[in-house]
Amino acid sequence: MNDRTELKAKNRKLLLRLLSVVAGMTLFAFALVPIYDVFCDYTGINGKTGGQEEAATDMQIDGSREISLDFIAMKSSDIKASFHPRQSKMVVHPGKVYLTDFFVKNDTDNPVILQAVPSVSPGLAALMLHKTECFCFNQQPLAAGEEKWMTLRFFLDTEFPEDIHNLTLQYTLYDITGKGETGAVAAN
């Protein structure tokens, strides 16, 4: 009899240990979310640009280099709005601050709150695109039928990678009406 109770206790102990592995892996899976964000913030490889409203300080314009920058405006499929850049292409020098704007119009009869989410490719250059002012930093409330031009002020880092000559900055416009302030975008 002793053998059996002993074995039962042993089995139970191992069972609990294995269950703790399961619990640990569940926690790990959820921990992957912040790990992913930190990793991408650090490396910029998922195309998200760096922190907000960076100051343009103490820069030398590198006139010898020209980088072609494309702007793309997209909408998520469920919204009715017009959205396009004023210029679809710019040739820029690293270190120089540029100003451009995007047109947005609410094509519905209701007020909406829109949010633009940027993505830069190639991803490795994402952290080298600095914005001093961007409409994507804020939610954009628009009255029914309202239209406006939204400002983007940016510069490329003087340490912009030598081997990259083309850069695409894409904005996707989402309707976040009713999703509340908590739906605010973490890293633009």
Partner 1 sequence: MSTIEHTADHDHHDHKPTGITRWLFTTNHKDIGTMYLIFSLLMFFVGGGMAMVIRMELFQPGLQIVDPAFFNQMTTMHGLIMVFGAVMPGMVGFANWMIPMMIGAPDMALPRMNNWSFWLLPAAFTIMILTPFMDGGGPAFGWTFYAPLSTTYAPPSTDFFIFAVHIMGMSSIMGAINVIVTIMNMRAPGMTYMKMPLFVWTWFITAFLLIAVMPVLASVVTMMLTDRNFGTSFFDAAGGGDPVMFQHIFWFFGHPEVYIMILPSFGLASAIIPTFARKKLFGYSSMVYATGSIAGLSFIVWAHHMFTTGMPLAAELFFMYATMLIAVPTGVKVFNWVATMWQGSMTFETPMLFAIAFVILFTIGGLSGVMMAIAPLDTQYHDTYFIVAHFHYVLFPGAIFGGFAGAYYWLPKWTGHMYSEGLGKAHFWTSMIFVNMTFFPMHFSGLAGMPRRIPDYSQQFADFNMWSSIGAFGLGLSQLIFVWMLIKTARGGEKAPAKPWDGAEGLEWTLPSPAPYHSFSTPPKID
Q: Does residue 55 interact with partner 1 by CB under 8 A?
A: no
What would the two tokens of residue 56 be?
């343009």
Site for partner 1 in 142-181 (CB under 8 A): 172, 174-176, 179-180
Residue from 5, 38, 40, 152 binding partner 1 (CB under 8 A)? 40
Q: Does residue 122 interact with partner 1 by CB under 8 A?
A: yes
Taken as a whole, the chain contains a residue count of 188
DSSP assignment letter at 185: -
Q: Does residue 3 interact with partner 1 by CB under 8 A?
A: yes
Give the CA angle between residues 156, 161, 164 to the nearest 5°. Answer: 90
Q: Report the distance separating Cα 54 and Cα 44, nearest Å.
A: 16
Residue from 30, 55, 60, 181 binding partner 1 (CB under 8 A)? 30
For residues 142 and 104, is the Cβ–Cβ distance under 8 A? yes
For residues 118 and 136, is the Cβ–Cβ distance under 8 A? yes
Q: Least Å distance between CB 60 and partner 1?
A: 28
Torsional sign, CA 98, 71, 48, 64: negative
Q: Least Å distance between CB 68 and partner 1?
A: 19
Binding site for partner 1 (CB under 8 A): 1-4, 7, 10-11, 14-15, 18-19, 21-23, 25-26, 28-30, 32-33, 36, 40, 43, 45-47, 76, 115, 117, 121-124, 172, 174-176, 179-180, 182-187
